[in-house]
Every structure is written in structure tokens, then in C-alpha cells.
Structure 1
Amino acid sequence: MPLRFLQYGLLLVPTVLYSLMLPAESEALYTFYILIAVGLAVAHRFTRSGAPQALLFLAEIVWSSHLIASYGPFMLSTGLSALYVYMYRLNGSMRWTMLAIQITAINLTLCEHYSSLPWLMWNTAELQAMDWSSESTQVIIAMNLLLFMTAALAWQGAKTATSRGQLEHVYDELRNKHYELQEARAQLLLFSKQLEDAAQIEERTRISRQLHDDIGHRLIRTKMMSEAALLTLPLHPEQGLVIVEQIRDQLTASMEDMRNTLLKLKPDPQPSDAYALDRLLEEVGRDTGIITNYAIRGQAYPLYPSTQIVLYKNAREAITNALRHGKANEIKLELVFEQQEVTMMISNDGSTLSLLHAEGSTSTGLGLESMRQRTQYLGGTVEIQANYPYTVITRIPISNKMNLL
């Protein structure tokens, strides 16, 4: 918009002021000439390609030169109007070629305006006879200086406009990237919710399996022992009493398992504590009597919920294997916080051969495969160090996007 105002201002304001000095009989032809110049300027709004624009600029240069030859240097403003526009719209050599054509045309027109002979009829004697200190020569020099200054200002303005356009393009790219990051953040939140739901479903499945396999079988066994006790007590009271004591022990163990299951089903007011590794080790040490050690290295920072869930489940699986197959007496869990990843190392003093042999079995092999799969969902890895002490290492990368959520 400012370029258009400058273009029409240079074209109309000086020409309107000059019309006030013309005699009445010359105003009609002068107005017709100015309307042609305005029509050429307006025609640029309907051309976008290079060739038609260049032809229009040439027509404007020729017409402004005709106006200078007819009415004098005051009409130079019509040429400056065209100069500003093509310095902005043309690129590369085309811009400077057009400037050279305009400078040549205007100088020839000015010389012809102040000379009695057409410029095509000049010779060496005419050029030598010119008075370079005359008013006409000074006007020509001043017009050339004005032309060069205007070209320099227009070129600088075109460079500034190009830089501004590039900055706007970069800003648009950054804005689009921002929207993409917002969408990625929403997808990560959705993925976290889905992963948490999957973890809850897996936990419910495990609890239902425990109720069926452990407590259910134990209750069936208790029922069968009760029937045996009813038949044994009348004939052999001592054997029947032993059976009743076994029934009592079975019921006590079933009640303890039921209590632990209900505690796990009870909602926690702080969801993040449900996957606390130190609490897991504390429960394992209290229930089994083994020695547990928990250590943190590095500057601890909040973990993404999906990362907490994966670390917790991998830790529980590794501890279960250490107790069941390695017959471990001591378990050590070390959590290492680094800038790019978090690492969890679980080592035990159990039998390394037993653990390696158990990895080939169906149940434990599936457990190890589950650890790897859930870790790969987050771009992490699971490593096994078979040397004593047997160690399971979980590495999960921590990206900047996850820290921002």
C-alpha cells in the first residue's frame, strides 16, 4: 500500500501543480497526456509475469521522456514514479537494465529539450559548443543526481522489503512448527492416557489371575480338606485335628492374600506414588525378608507418567524373577538421572545360572519379552548383564517434548 501511494503521488501531485501554470488552451492536451500516464501506471496492477511488466515499464519510460521533452524537467516526476515501482518488482539484471534505459532516455530527452537541434543530428562541434556552466546544463546534472539518488533509495527499500518478506516467511514457518508441536503434544498426552489404560487393564488381568490361580485353588483345597476332616474326626481324632489345623493355615494365608489384593485395588490419592520404586522395594523386603537397597544418582527430575509405569513394571518383573528363580537374598535398585535418558539397574546376588536357564522357559521368557516391548514403546532398551551380580538394565530416553508436558 505505501508503494502504491508513492507511485501515484509522484505521478499526480507534480502534474496537477504544473497544470495550474499552463494556459487554458493547452490544458486539454496536457490532461490527455497525464491520463495516458495514469493508465500505464494502473495497468501494472493487472500484470504479474515478468515480460508484460517489462513492456509496461518501457512504455512508461518512453511516455515520461515524451512528457519531459514536451513540458520540461518538471515532468521528471513521472519517470521517478515508474522507477520506484520497477526497482521493487523486477529482480536481478532486468532491474538494472531498465534503469540504464531510463537514464539514457531521460538524458537524451533533456538534451533535446534544451537544444534547438534533435539529438540525432548532434555532432562533435555541437557538443564542444555547449556551455557546461549554463542553467540548462546544471538542470541536466541536477536531474541526473536526483535520478541516481532516487534509484539508490528505491534499491535500498527493495532490499528491506525482501528481508522483511523473508522474516515473515520464517515467522510463518515457526508458527506452523508451533502448531505441529501442539498437535504432537496432544498426541503424546493421548498416548500416555492409552498406555495408562493398558497398564490398568494388565494389572486387573494379573489380579484376576491371582484370585483364580492362588486364592481360588486354595479355597477349593480347603473345601476338600474340610470334607476329609469330617470323615476322619469320628474315627481318627488326632489325624482329623491335624487336618483342621492345616485348614486354618490355608484360610489364614487366603485371607492375607485377599487383604493384599484389596490394598492394591484401593485407589491412591496420589497416582504417581502408585508406581514408586522405593515403595515397591519396601513391600518386597517386608513380605519376603530379603535385603533391599535403593539408590538415586544424578539430579532427579519429574518423570512422564508412561515412563514411571514402564520402570515400575520392569522393576517388578525383574524382582519377581530374582526371587523365584535366582533365590536372591539381596536386591539392589539404582536409578540414574541423566540429561538425555533415565537408567534403572536392578541387580541381585542370586544364582546367575538359574536366572539364565529360567529365561529360556515359557513364563519368564514371556515376562522378559514384555519388558522389552513396553520399553520399546518409549524408544528405550532392556539389557541383561549375566556376570555376577545378575543385572537387568532399562534405559528410556527423555526428550525435551516430554519435559515440557
Structure 2
Amino acid sequence: MSEQAWPMRLTVVPYVLLAGLTAVTAVIKRDQPRSLVIDLGLCALIGLWTLGMFTLRPARRTDHRAMAVFIVGFVLLLAVLVARDPWFGFLTPAGYFYTFVLLPWPVELFGVGAVAVIAGYAQSYAIPKTDVVGLLATAAVIGVNVVGMCLTGWLGRRGEVLSRQRKDAVDALTETNRRLESTLAENADLHEQLLAQAREAGVIDERQRMAREIHDTLAQGLTGIVTQLQAAETADDWRRHVTSAVGLARESLTEARRSVHALRPQPLQSATLSEAIGDVVRRWSALHGIDGQLTTTGTPRVLTPETESTLLRATQEALANVAKYARANRVGVTLSYMDRTVALDVRDDGTGFDPQQTRPSESGGFGLVAMRQRVEALNGTLEIESEPGFGTAISATVPVTGAGA
């Protein structure tokens, strides 16, 4: 039943039914003037009651108390008319319209039940009520009307509840979809920001990687080359120093190419970490004339390429610093394999320095910074112990991961 149909049934249909029944009464009781006058008076009274209490007062139609008074009066007048003339039972649909629409739940059931009693009485008007059978038949007709109409009212109310629940669910779903769309839009913006930050971070990481690789390959190699060429200027066996410089140049060029392609350092291509570090120590010792020894403790294991590269580069950087600054006579390198970590210690007996005064600079401080960045990128730690006149100890500790962990 549409919302536009209800006003017509409430404001027009009752008057049409009443007018039709009034005409029928006038025809049937044309030979009974006194009874006709009473019926016409009751018809006029119920019509005026409806007009004054409902039709002409639309503002009061939502006032449940006022509408309850109106329906009580309507039902009482309808009961009198049906008691006098059974054909006025055809006016009961108007009573149902009013009670279904104007009364709140569950008061609606009482109004519907009262109208159903009147309708059932009208339908059983012709049944004799002088014996038990007639009374039972009358009660049965009235009962059927009451139960049927109350059930209809309950089903209608249940349908309204379900319809309201569906509407609430649709509204909730619509709101959820709106919020989801808003969240998706926010997530899209956040995703764009994260991508931009990731790109920026990637650029920074690549710059730092290239800076470390350049320092560990070209810078150290060029330093060694300069050292060898300077030594060749005053040495009798200058050819040996020139040959060493050429070798360093070739090695540096190879490592630079490998750094550009982000490949593993050349010493690790065909040797274990311990063997690669031992080779670096031996060559460094021969090149600089400083006694260097490697000691390996624990059970060697397979580490990730990143871990091995980091420890190898740390060894190269530590030895390069010894050659440039320490003026040491002996260097000890220890590679320790432990249960959960692997540690690299480089100790010298050189001049030492004050770690608190060391700052990265273009002239020579970037090596320690690069070393620390490499180690901390693997969740490791780098410790530097030194004191002027008492040498230097550098310790890099990295968690063990990989196939052998």
C-alpha cells in the first residue's frame, strides 16, 4: 500500500461508504419514518464526528491521544448503527483504516479487535441467538474476524519493522561505502606519499652505497697507488713499487666496475670469508711492510653475501686507516664465529687517537662513517677503542643469518 493511497482511504472512502449506506437505509426504511430519522441522525452524527475530529484537523492526526479519542467515538457510533441495522457492517473497513494508521503499536490491536467484533456481529446478524448453537456460531464468526484482523495487523507491523530494518541496513551500508571510499581515497594519497618517500629513500640509499663503494675501492686504491709512486721516487728498487701501483690500479678498476653492478667483492667470488680476509691481510702486510696476522675462532659457517661483504669491507677500511694514520708495527685481525653473531676485530699498536674528536670530513673521516653504516644496516654494532699512544681496536659484530645460521 503506497503512502499516497492512505490519505484517500482515510479522508474520502469513509464518507463514500457512509453516503452509500445512508442511501440504502433511506430506501429500506422508507416505510419506517421514526426508525429512519434515528438512523439518519446517527449517520449525520458519525459523519460530523469524523469531519470535526479528523478531516478538518490534519495537525492532530499525529497526536495519538486525540486520535484514540476519535476512534473510540467512531467505534461506539458504528456499534450502535450495526446493532440497529446489520448492513452498516460495510462501514467497518473505514474503522480498520483508522485503527491501522492512527493508533500506535500495540494499542492498534485493541482498536482492530473492537472493529472486528462489530464486523463479526454484523456478519452473524441473521444467526438465531436463542440457543447455544446460535450463540456458538455467532462467537465463532466474531472470533474468526478478531483473530484474522489482529493477525493481519501483526503481519503488517512486522512488515513495517522489517522494512525499517532493511532501510537502516541500506543506510548503514551506504554510510559504510561512503567511509570506505573516503578511506580508499586517503589510502591512495598515502600510497603516493609512501612511494615518493620510498623513491627518495632509495635514491639516498644508492648514493650512500656508491659513496661507500667509491671509498672502499677507488679512494683506497688511489691512496695505495700514490703511496707506492711516492716510495718509487726515492727507492732503488723503484720498479717493484711501480709494479705494485699498477696492480693496485687494476684491482681498483675491477672493484669499481663490480660496485657499479652491485656485485660481490672479487675476493669473495672464489673463497670463503676467512680465506678472503686472510688474503687481504697478507697482501696488505706485504704492500706496506707491516706485520699482519689473521686469527679465526669458532666454527666457520656460510653467511649471507651482505654480511660477508660488510666484514670484508670493514677489514679493508680498518687496514687502510692503519696504513695512513697509525704508524703501527703490528696488526692483529680476529674473525670470531659465535652462536648468534660473527665478530671482526682489528687491533694495531700504532699511535692511536681520540675517538671523541673524530669527525667525518672529505679528507679522511668518511671511512669510519661508511663502515658504521654498513654494519648497522645489518642490525650489527661497531665499536672503536683508541687512546693516543696506545693503538686502536675496531670491533664489528653482526647477527648470524643465512644458510648456516
Q: TM-score if structure 1 supplies the norm length?
A: 0.50
- Report percent identity of matched pairs: 13
Question: Retained in 2: the 8 A contact 1:352–1:390?
Answer: no
Cα distance change of structure 1 residues 133 and 83 upon mapping to structure 2, 3 Å threshold: farther
Q: Corresponding residue for 2:13? A: 13
Provide the secondary structure at the position in 1 that maps to 2:22: coil
| 1:352 alignment partner, one of 338, 345, 357 | 338
Q: Corresponding residue for 2:155? A: 156
CA distance in 2 between partners of 1:44 and 1:368 (Å): 80
CA distance in 1 between partners of 2:312 and 2:253 (Å): 28
Cα distance change of structure 1 residues 56 and 22 upon mapping to structure 2, 3 Å threshold: closer
Question: Retained in 1: the 8 A contact 2:222–2:249?
Answer: no
Are positions 1:69 and 2:80 aligned together?
yes
CA distance in 2 between partners of 1:232 and 1:13 (Å): 122
Question: Retained in 2: the 8 A contact 1:222–1:250?
Answer: yes
Counterpart of 1:367, as a letter, is A
CA distance in 2 between partners of 1:185 and 1:38 (Å): 53
Q: Corresponding residue for 1:122? A: none
Q: Corresponding residue for 1:32? A: 48
Cα distance change of structure 1 residues 132 and 357 upon mapping to structure 2, 3 Å threshold: farther
1:133 CA drift (Å): 9.6
| 1:289 alignment partner, one of 262, 269, 288 | 269
Larger Rg: 2
Q: Corresponding residue for 1:2? A: 2
Q: Corresponding residue for 1:320? A: 306
Q: Corresponding residue for 2:327? A: none
1:53 CA drift (Å): 1.8
Cα distance change of structure 1 residues 16 and 363 upon mapping to structure 2, 3 Å threshold: same
Cα distance change of structure 1 residues 171 and 102 upon mapping to structure 2, 3 Å threshold: closer
Q: Corresponding residue for 2:295? A: none
CA distance in 2 between partners of 1:101 and 1:387 (Å): 82
Q: Corresponding residue for 1:53? A: 64
CA distance in 2 between partners of 1:68 and 1:81 (Å): 16
1:19 CA drift (Å): 0.7
Are positions 1:215 and 2:208 aligned together?
no
Counterpart of 2:110, as a letter, is A
1:162 CA drift (Å): 1.2
Summarize deviations over 1:158-181 as a string: whole Å, max 9, x none: 112212322333343344444444
1:16 CA drift (Å): 0.5
Are positions 1:200 and 2:199 aligned together?
yes
Summarize deviations over 1:18-60 as a string: whole Å, max 9, x none: 3145369958766534423643894565x3xxxx425523432
Provide the secondary structure at the position in 2 that maps to 1:2: coil
Question: Retained in 2: the 8 A contact 1:14–1:75?
Answer: yes
Count how many residue pairs are aligned between Structure 1 and Structure 2: 287
Question: Retained in 2: the 8 A contact 1:326–1:354?
Answer: no
Counterpart of 2:15, as a letter, is T
Q: Corresponding residue for 1:22? A: 22
Question: Retained in 1: the 8 A contact 2:218–2:253?
Answer: no
1:286 CA drift (Å): 8.9
Cα distance change of structure 1 residues 146 and 76 upon mapping to structure 2, 3 Å threshold: same
1:155 CA drift (Å): 0.9
Q: Corresponding residue for 1:168? A: 167
Extract unaligned runs of 5+ from structure 1: 116-128, 265-282, 293-316, 328-349, 371-383, 392-405
1:242 CA drift (Å): 3.8
Q: Corresponding residue for 1:83? A: 99
1:66 CA drift (Å): 1.7
| 1:99 alignment partner, one of 78, 90, 109 | 109
Q: Corresponding residue for 2:368? A: none
Question: Retained in 2: the 8 A contact 1:226–1:247?
Answer: yes
CA distance in 2 between partners of 1:187 and 1:170 (Å): 25
Cα distance change of structure 1 residues 5 and 210 upon mapping to structure 2, 3 Å threshold: closer
CA distance in 1 between partners of 2:144 and 2:57 (Å): 24
Summarize deviations over 1:349-374 as a string: whole Å, max 9, x none: x933582557xx9657733559xxxx
Q: Corresponding residue for 1:314? A: none
Summarize deviations over 1:75-128 as a string: whole Å, max 9, x none: 2222211232267x42xxxx1x5533664587589989x99xxxxxxxxxxxxx
1:260 CA drift (Å): 4.6
Counterpart of 1:99, as a letter, is L
Cα distance change of structure 1 residues 369 and 78 upon mapping to structure 2, 3 Å threshold: farther
CA distance in 2 between partners of 1:185 and 1:290 (Å): 51
